[in-house]
Each structure stands twice: as structure tokens, then as C-alpha cells.
Structure 1
């Protein structure tokens, strides 16, 4: 045996070094990783055969490769995928792939923070930029190259490092400076959106010599610039535009507020700016991601990024749909020209008391000297209302609803928290929910999501919202379908459909319900318990699941947190859909007033289970939902043994007993 091992070792010494070396090259690292199949195929078909001719080369020649996953390929627009596959675009593919490779350098992530950027193998030596980001409440930390996150760093090979990234480095960087690119853009998308008016602003800047803003846009090694589109700048009234262009001091301040020096912020890391933002050449810039949109503001005035991550030789720029740090419309003028708010503008103008000397909503929104916050429902929100009620035909109700959306103080998005309570101009309370799913405002029990914050105007600030507060437009089923916070409950109801028609009942206008809906976390906690997993997953426990769901539903009553039925300190017994049996009766106890969403002390009790209302009063057309922090189960094991007091369980037991007796008789015969 020892001799045999010696022969194997001798063979490895003779043949092995070449084989071992072959397996330790970047080429083999890429080939052996199943996540990189698309990237490997592109490298194999590249004109210069990058995989074989470079990444399989001698150990003395080092490379750093940023390899996007197959999932990153799926993110690319179809037209880009087709162009990269097109054999007639071999030269473009080669340039694109070389932009993912750094030659003559084996770069570990620990070096990236100091390097800041590096030239690539691309024929013009276009740069990639590095960022090391700390985690905060909104931003996931890690190492980034351009907009892509390094999801698996530092895979060592004999001839370099492989870093696996979550996006292709697209669009590819330019070797022009910031000012040079804005003067002569290369991307067709940038040309289509237009930079001529911003270029006009740059050309009108005063010449300050070395260190001036003009020179910074060319000379600084790292810059981030937010460029308003031609369309955004064209909305500025001619008189205001001429006034700005004539005042070079003001113009320089406005342009400077679009520029972050000495740092490159790609769209994927804007949340790392934090609540207070980062220093711009003038003022501070705050960035945040809401859903899939990136919003930028300076001095509470900003807009949405409509074309991100245009990489140039000394940084990156993003095109935005609103100028920063410059107001030129009052609230009414803004909503009148904003395409997404035309239904709101029509509603405002239809009310009496218009004009700046009037007393109506239009006069209030036009009046200079006011400091207002408007929560502005977008057009799709009004379209939902039209399906539920003819709001525009009821002037009195319309006036009440519109005033519910106006606050007589200026409140920025960052100042809205779970404890914030604001008074509308008609003295209604507005409360807020801030979490992973976004920031919501609740007025008269109707919840709306803030989808575009901090639009600055001369007399306040506007936050766009996706719903009209004060009017229920969805039934219980629709609310469960559309509200992310209720997603788990909705999926469990769908699972239980084989044994119940609860979802049908919840869509009926004539059926009124009060629902105590466990949060997503509450359901996840139950699921992670063995009995909870069985309850949800196993078909033989489906009826038990139905009973649990029904226990959270009170039919025929709509009970709000401030209903007279709920008196502080008094236990209120409620019969659920299961009736008054011991498995159907729940107790609700109000310990204090709901002064805010985080201090709403209402408990729901079932036997030994105790849940707390964490979000009350989500109103629908056929009832109300209160979100609770636990699923109402006394003991999952007892439940899974089959709620013995229920009529259904008794019937099932009787049938089983009869079948056993009949079997015995047949055997006896």
C-alpha cells in the first residue's frame, strides 16, 4: 500500500504541477462557478478571446476581474442583451467585457478604499470607481465597484483576484471629464433627455480661476453631479429663468448645490448619505431610495433620478427631473403644471373661494408667505376614488377631503416618524408609519404611501402619495391583496381556500367585518415553530387553519380604536366568526388612548394568548383592519389535536367512531 501511495505521489510530482496550475487560474475559477455561466459565454465569444488569451495566462501577469452573476444578466434590458449577443457587435462586446477587467493588478477589497478608482483593460482605459460603505438603517454595507455590489470578494487565483458582483458595469464609463461629457454627451439616452439647458447654466458661471466651480468640474479626481433634464429646467417660468441667469452669484450657488466634490456616489449607495446628507460644493445633498426610485434633494428641494450612473473620467452624474435648491412655483402653480397631479389640480379649482384674495383651498395653496405641507395624491389615486364615490359632485365632502391633505407647517420627509402627529388645516389628525415597506401617512383611517418626497415650492413642501386619505376605496380582500404589511395573512387565506370561502366574504360590500390581522413577523414566528409549520403546510390540518383565521374575524361589527364600544380599562368580549364557543370568543382590552401608532395600547386576548395592536384602524369599504403582533393561538399543540369543542370536530369524531363499529361488525360476520 505504501509503495502504491509513493507511485501516486511520484505521478503528481511529474504531471501534477501543470494540472494544479491549470485549475488555479482565473479562467478555471470562472468556468467552475455555476453562477457565472453567462459571463463565461460572453468571454468565450469575445473577439480577443479574453478567457483563454488573458485570464489563463502566466502567473506573472495579474488581473482583477469583476464577474457579474447570471442574475445580473437578467437585470439588463433585453435590447442590451441582444446587442451583446449580436455577432456584428463584436468590437462593442470586447470593449464592454474589458471594462470588467483590470490589467497588471491583483486588487484585494481592502485596497479599494485607498485606491478609489482604477483604469480598466478597456481600449481607452476607462475607469471604475470603488466605494466601501458602512451599513445604516437604509443602506446595506459592503464593497462596491461603480453601481455594482461585490457579493463574493477576493476569490484568489494564481494570476489574480475574482470578485463576483450583482450587476454588469453598465453603462460603460467614458474617458471624458465631467464638464467635457456634459458639453458633448456620448450616450443616446443622455442626448434624448437633454443637457443643453444645464450646459447653458455651466457656461454662464463666473470665471473664478483655479479652484472655481468651472475648474472643479474638470480637474477634481472624483465628483458626483446631479443634472436636471431639459424638460425639468423648461418648467421654470421665463421671467424666473432670466432672473437666475442674470444673477451669477445666485446661479453659482444653485449649480454648486448639484455637485458633490471628492466622492463618487452611484445610485446603489445614495442611502449611505444618511438623514443629514453629505456636503456639496454649496449646502448639503440628501439621497434616499423609495421602492425602486432614487430621490435627491438640497435645501429640501429636489426630485427623482430618471437616468442614473453615467460614469465619466472623474466621477459619475445622474439626470434628475427637478432642479435642486431653487424654487419658482407656489404649491398651486406646481400641481397645475405637474402631469401626475392633474386630477388634484382640477379638484382644487372646482371649489369656491379661489384666487389669492379668496378663502378657499386654491387661495391657500397660492398664498405666498405661508409655510405649508401638501400630501398630494397622484392621478391614479383619484381614479381609485372615482370607482367608489363621485367625490367631485359633492363639493362639501371634496373640500373636507382636500383640507385633510394640507398641514400649516413645513415638514420634511426625514422628520416623519412613527411618533409624528400633525394637524391638518381642518383639525384632523395625521399619523405616520415608517418601516421597511416605506413611509405612510394616515388620515381619517385611510393610509397612503409617500412615493415621492420633498418637492420644494415657494410656500412649502409637497409629498406625493398613492392614495386619497379620508375615503375608503378598497374592500377587505383588495386591502389584503395590495398591502405589503398584510401579505402573509393574505397568503394564508389563499392556502385555506380549499376549506372555506372567507376571501369571497371579504370582498362582499354587504358583509361588515372587524379583522385582527397578525403581522408578517407574527406569522413567520408561528411558522418557525414545528406545530405552526404543520398548521400552514399540511393539508390534514387545513380545517384547523380555517378555525385560526376565523378567530381573527368579527362579523357584523366595525370597531375602531376610538369606538365607544371600547372603554379604557374595560374587557370587551367579542364573538368571532366561530361564534361564542370557547374556541371563538376573544377579549379586547383598551389600556389607553391611541395618541400615535406606537403608543396604541389595545390588547387582544384568547385564552393564554395575548396580542397587541401595532397598527389600528385601516379602513376599507366593508370593515376595518387592526394589525396585531401575535397569532391568536392558545397552544398550537392543543389546536392541532383538533379543537374538541367545535361542532365540526364532534361530527368528525362521530363519523370515525361509526366507521370503526361498522368495520368491527363486518369482521365479525
Structure 2
């Protein structure tokens, strides 16, 4: 019954596409419609024949059926397909199918309110949720209304002669006939062990008052959501601490584990959506992190490891930590994550702390310490791609550790407003450098020491008011060069393809990065561009930002079916690496500040007539992009102190551009009469820094601009790099 959180996030994305409200198949009964190409549910229909319920769906009595079509089944997670395929025998198949059949005509509008329930043909409870699904990115917030059944979204409703078919985007999993309490005492899934959780419930029975206050509701509530700590999670608690939980305190912790009157499925949850727990003083906050779903309750953040187990009175989510119970200080928690952290182990960071100077060890051990802790994988990246071993560099070790430790007020990111423009700053122990924390793309990020990292496990509370934020980067030490930094940002994919088409990826490359040519790690997102320029695709790649904006007017019948200029604008590798050249050398790479347009800016630029023309002239387009590069400087906008004044710089083309910091959170890049807002800044790289902007600074004058002498700056930097390299070699020869 494992519902992957990545699948849940996919459902959220699917809701952003156009959803057919109703398709009329009144000339067919339900069985005929399911087998038709319109619905495409041949597997569901064949099971209905085998289970001997097809005659019901061909008859004149009205039914409503929630079905998955064959495509939804074939693209479902492997675990889900295995569960459904394991249903064998006609009786078992009949039980499954009847779970999703209602003996009534029910279109989606007939389900009342935001949340409701329906009773299926075999008496199972189905949980219906109607809500506005929103998605926030650098271009804004977008959304659509969705209807969900047990967390599976309805994408199309079909009106048949004898009822309705609601087609789902994913196959629903079986619903248990047990309530949440009975399921905990005897799980339907043999792989689930609940012995330690049951022991706590039995221990609570010693005091009837507290037991009755916390436990019976799991069976008696008509609707609830239960967070069930796994056997592994409870085993990780030291035995003496676990057995010390009794009475009022244990009752309070148990109540932090369920939401009364709400059956909440992960598929439609928004980042930082919260609900009241049975403990009236505590709310449960859901958070997304790199397509994982987290829940925070009672000061503890846990990951949902197996979610959306539907029972008769709600839904159960298995979690990897007990909520509410904090029993380690910061140092002990780091040590524990080293041994039990799985993919988020912290052994390498623990080793750094073990070697730290006495004053740093004291800072880590003091009351109220808040700190960032990089995962082992983040530290390993530096060794793999840059050859950096911080254990052998005490200066760097001290620098990183002090950036990780906060000096001022505590940091609780789960209480942030889910708004990109809301940013919080915290002072670190390294020269009072500021760490910038913000929400973006259904994740929480930190920018610290000019390195951006995702907070993969936020708000790990510790005793003595300590707190840890687990991150996937090492503050102060980037592992990627500028081109790789751009390539690994999902919202820069189409800009990245343009950069490659103009050869700038080679120009911006750091020759000292990944000298051993190690394979780069897998991306955390799917590249749906397939390496194409935005106008080489057959559909709008930013449909969530520009839904049906140009359906039949500007681009009727898609005049650009595959690639408008297959052998002129973007042929296969028109600009090989040897053609454009790399700035600098392995020993002396060039440094850049690059204001990179996001995908929306690239798309908008291509909608303009002059933008389309310029994009077909790769040398001219390269010039436009180089206008956004400041060579030989690494400019941190966070540390730029002046508000309201513009600072002038010479771009890579030799033109003057200006940076204007209007407020603490508002920075603009200016060229002539044009401006672009910097929407994300100080993304450090091995050879400079990247700032993301919302506009390409270009106008019609660029159509006729003389670009023949635009390589002077680039050439001079390259010459300087060569001279510097030769000087270093000569100095070494003298010794």
C-alpha cells in the first residue's frame, strides 16, 4: 500500500493541466464505456467480467464507478501495481471493484462541500475531497479545482446511459474494512510491525483516565488521519526513555499523532498546510521537501515513509519518528543521525565536529543552539567533484562549521509563510555572515556563504531548546561550476538549452571542476525539454503559467511542429565545445557574475518579434546573454549594503549595466531604459555566482547592433588568465 510521495507530487502537477469536466457517452452503458477508447479501462472492465458484476453495470439500475484506465495503471508506482496485481480470485476482485462502485448516480457536483464521504456497494467508506490546487513558482501562483477520491484525482467524468464513470489519474488501492485502531492492533499488511506502538497503548491502559482521553477515538471517530510511527522509529528511542513514557505525557503524545474529523491524503496537500491534532495545543504541519512529504507535530518533524493507507474511518500514514517526543540534545542528535539516518546520515559532519576547536565544540553543546547540518552526500560531493577533503583543511573546516552555527534567534522554518517574497535572515558565527532562508517551489531553502541548499529535514528539535536543519549543501563551499549550477535548476532548463546552443556553457566552464570526469549525480526532476529550445517543442512548456494563452491566434495549428529551423537555429550540436572556447585555465579559471533569465523570461522573449529573430542568429543571441554577465567579479547582492543607489558595472560585452538594491528583498538589473527583477540571488558556484532574473534585457536596437567587436572583454580575460598561469609556473620553477 506504499504511495510514493513523488507520485503524490505528480498528482498535484497533473491538476494544473486542463481537466475535462464531463464527456457524454449516454449511448453506452457503463460496461461499454469502460471498454471503449474514450475511457480506456479495459483492465477494470475485464475484472468486472471475471468477478461477475458486469451484468450490474450493463443493467438499468443507476451506478457510479470510480475507475482507473490502463494508462494510469501502467504508469503507477511499481509497488501499487504489485498490490493490485496480487488481488487474485473472483471473490477478491469483486471485493476490490465493489469498493469503488456507488449504487446511485453521482456526478462530481453532487458531493457536498469541501470534504464528504460516500458508502460503496460493499460498505466501504470513500473519502471525497474538493479543493483548489495551487502551485507556486518563480512566475507566480496558479491552480485549478480538483475532486479527489481517497487521494486519487478525477480527471474526467463520463455520463453513461445507466450512471457515471469517474476516471482517476492513478489506481486506487484497496480499502481496509477495519477502523484505524483495529488496523493498528492487527495490520492488513504483513510487512508492517506495530508491536512497540501497541505496547505504548497497553502501558497507557494502566491509567484509564488518560487512556480513554487518547485511544478510543481511533475507533470511534467517523473520520481521522493517524500518523503511525514505524517499528524502526520507535526502536531508535533508547529503551529507558521509551519505557519512561506513561500517563498524561504519553496520552498527550498519542493525541499529537492523529487529526480528528479529517481524512488527509498527501496527493493534494500544499506545502505547510496545517491541521489541528487531537491535542488541542498542537497543530500538525505538512511540508514538502524534494518530493518527500514531512509532517511536524509537537516539535518533531517526521517523514511519511508509507502513506495513504485507507481504512474504514480515515487514512493512516507511517512515519519515521515519534511525534512530540524530544530526547536528544544537538550533539546527541547528530550522532544518532550518523547511525540511523539512512540516506540523510551525518557521519561526515560528526567527524568535523569531533575535530573542531574547543570553542566550536562549546558552541555546539550550549543550550539553545540552532544550526545547519549538511548530509554526508553533500560533503561527499566536494570530494568527488572538487577533490576537497575538509578533514585535511582545518581553515576550511572552521569556516564551514561557523557558517553552520547560528548566533541569534532560533529558526523554525515550518512556521514560515509559504510566500517566496517572505525571507528570513539569521546571523551565523562566521564574521556575522547572514544565512537567508525562504520558501520556493514547495521546498524550503537556505542560502548561506553564497551556497544554496535545500532543507531536506527541517526543524529537528532537540533538548535544551536546540534545533537542527538538515541540508543538502555545504555552506560556503559550492561543488558545481556555473554551467552545472544552471543545468541542475529545473526552472532554468529552457534557458540552459539556449546557453548550450550559443556555446556559452563552454565559455563559463570551470576547468578545475570535475577534472576526473566523474558521472554527475541524477537530477531530482525530469527534463521534459529533451535538450530542445523552448520553441522547438510542440506544446507550451509553461502551460501552468500561460494556460491556453495562444491557442489559435498567435500560433494556430502549431506552425513550429518540431523545430522551425532544424539546420539553422539549433541543429544537432551546432556549437561543439572546441568552437567557443573556455575562459581561463585549470589553474586559473575565470570568475563571473551571471544574471540568468528564468524559463519564463526566455519564453516571453521568444514571443516578441525581435526576440524570435535574434534567437535565430546565435552569435547575436550569445551577445545578448553576455550582456547579463559581469566578468572577473563575484558580486554578492545579499551583502550589497546600499539601498536605493545604483552601482555601475561593465558587462562581458563592454556595455554598462547597473544593479539597484531598492530594498532588502528587491534588487533590479538595469540596462538603458530596461530593467529585470532579481528573483533569486547569491547562488554560488566554483567560478562565480548566479542571480536569477525575470527578464532578458534586450530591445529592437539589438537587431542592428554592431556585435563584431564584442569579444574584447572575453579575450582580455583569457589573456590575463594565461599570463597569470605562466606567472604561477615561473614562480614555482624558481623554487
- TM-score band by shorter chain is 0.7 to 0.9
Deviation digits for residues 619-650 of structure 1, max 9, x if unmatched? 21112222222102122xx44x454453699x
User: Bigger CA drift: 157-166 or 309-318?
Assistant: 157-166
**Which one has a bigger Cα radius of gyration?**
1
- Return the alpha-carbon distance in structure 2 between the equivalents of residues 40 and 316 of structure 1: 29
Give, in angstroms, the shift of residue 127 of structure 1: 2.4
In the other structure, the counterpart of 1:457 is 462
Give, in angstroms, the shift of residue 180 of structure 1: 0.9
Which has the bigger relative contact order, CA under 8 A and spacing at least 6? 2
From 160, 165, 170, the equivalent of 1:162 is: 165
1:67/1:120 CA distance change after superposition, 3 Å: same
Deviation digits for residues 157-182 of structure 1, max 9, x if unmatched? 23112222222112x11101211111
- Return the alpha-carbon distance in structure 2 between the equivalents of residues 472 and 227 of structure 1: 38
Give, in angstroms, the shift of residue 224 of structure 1: 0.8
- Return the alpha-carbon distance in structure 1 between the equivalents of residues 145 and 25 of structure 2: 35
**2:399 partner SS:** helix
- Return the alpha-carbon distance in structure 1 between the equivalents of residues 638 and 610 of structure 2: 36
In the other structure, the counterpart of 2:242 is 241
Give, in angstroms, the shift of residue 378 of structure 1: 0.9
- Return the alpha-carbon distance in structure 1 between the equivalents of residues 627 and 439 of structure 2: 29
**Structure number having the greater helix percentage:** 1
1:450/1:563 CA distance change after superposition, 3 Å: closer
Q: What TM-score do the two structures reach when normalised by structure 1?
A: 0.80
In the other structure, the counterpart of 1:505 is 582
CA contact (8 A) 1:286 1:296 kept: yes
- Return the alpha-carbon distance in structure 2 between the equivalents of residues 503 and 221 of structure 1: 67
In the other structure, the counterpart of 1:380 is 377
- Return the alpha-carbon distance in structure 2 between the equivalents of residues 567 and 213 of structure 1: 55
In the other structure, the counterpart of 2:437 is 432
CA contact (8 A) 1:47 1:94 kept: no
Task: Confirm whether residue 552 of structure 1 aligns to residue 555 of structure 2.
Answer: no
In the other structure, the counterpart of 1:331 is 330
In the other structure, the counterpart of 2:656 is 586
- Return the alpha-carbon distance in structure 2 between the equivalents of residues 279 and 82 of structure 1: 33
Give, in angstroms, the shift of residue 252 of structure 1: 0.5
From 1, 24, 29, the equivalent of 2:33 is: 29
In the other structure, the counterpart of 1:97 is 97
Give, in angstroms, the shift of residue 612 of structure 1: 3.3
Task: Confirm whether residue 81 of structure 1 aligns to residue 86 of structure 2.
Answer: no
Quote the RMSD (CA, aligned, Å): 3.3
Deviation digits for residues 560-597 of structure 1, max 9, x if unmatched? 33789999745524141x4x3xxxx13224455x74xx
In the other structure, the counterpart of 2:249 is 250
In the other structure, the counterpart of 1:604 is 670
In the other structure, the counterpart of 2:547 is none
Deviation digits for residues 255-276 of structure 1, max 9, x if unmatched? 01101111111122343873x5
In the other structure, the counterpart of 1:526 is 605
Deviation digits for residues 218-256 of structure 1, max 9, x if unmatched? 111111110011111111122211211xx3111100001
Task: Confirm whether residue 411 of structure 1 aligns to residue 411 of structure 2.
Answer: yes
- Return the alpha-carbon distance in structure 1 between the equivalents of residues 468 and 323 of structure 2: 14
Gapped regions of structure 1 (runs ≥ 5): 1-19, 354-358, 650-669
**2:370 partner SS:** strand
Q: What TM-score do the two structures reach when normalised by structure 2?
A: 0.73
Q: State how 1:228-377 maps to structure 2 within 5 Å.
A: 228-244=229-245, 247-271=246-270, 274=273, 277-282=275-280, 283-338=282-337, 339=341, 340-353=345-358, 359-361=359-361, 363-367=362-366, 370-377=367-374
CA contact (8 A) 1:437 1:484 kept: no
Deviation digits for residues 438-468 of structure 1, max 9, x if unmatched? 2211112111111221222213222211101
